[in-house]
Amino acid sequence: VFDRIDHVGIAVAELDPAIDVLKGAFGMEVSHREVVEEQGVEAALLDVGEGHVELIAPLGEETGVARFLAKRGPGLHHVAYQVADIDSALTELKERGVRMIDESARTGIRKSRVAFLHPSAAAGVLTELVQPAEGH
Ligand code: CO
């Protein structure tokens, strides 16, 4: 179903200090930064080869990421796998009885189409499917 790992998502309280840490330690650069209202986050993508680290910080206290931070603190939030066709991937996973959070795709960072699977479906890790927009 999955083509490759697109990114790992790391939850942080604030983007800039976390960017400074990854830049200082590893020389990683931000290639994209965006407020994703639909997910209640501001996100920054840092390139690692063809993959990315996605830092996400909550836009408000009532967001899922804010609740995650309150409960578990900063750290690994999700793993995102690239798919060529997210609609057929979701249909296939549904047929297999995989537990979904999103029944259908929604808009993600850089106009990608994304959907989340329940952590219980993937060994305890929140799992994202990403179909990149044309040209990314
Ligand atoms: Co993500």
Task: Name the 3-class secondary structure at 78.
Answer: strand
- The Cβ of residue 87 has, within 10 Å, a number of other Cβ atoms equal to 13
Distance 79 CA to ligand 1 centre (A): 7
Distance 8 CA to ligand 1 centre (A): 7
Task: Name the 3-class secondary structure at 104.
Answer: coil
Overall average pLDDT of the 29-36 stretch: 96
Distance 123 CA to ligand 1 centre (A): 17
Cα 94 to the center of its chain, rounded Å:
20
What is the secondary structure of 18-62 as a DSSP string?
Answer: HHHHHHHHH---EEEEEEEGGGTEEEEEEEETTEEEEEEEESSTT
Distance 115 CA to ligand 1 centre (A): 9
pLDDT tens digits along 60-93: 999 999 999 999 999 999 999 999 999 999 999 9
Distance 25 CA to ligand 1 centre (A): 22
Distance 100 CA to ligand 1 centre (A): 15
Q: What is the mean pLDDT of the chain?
A: 96
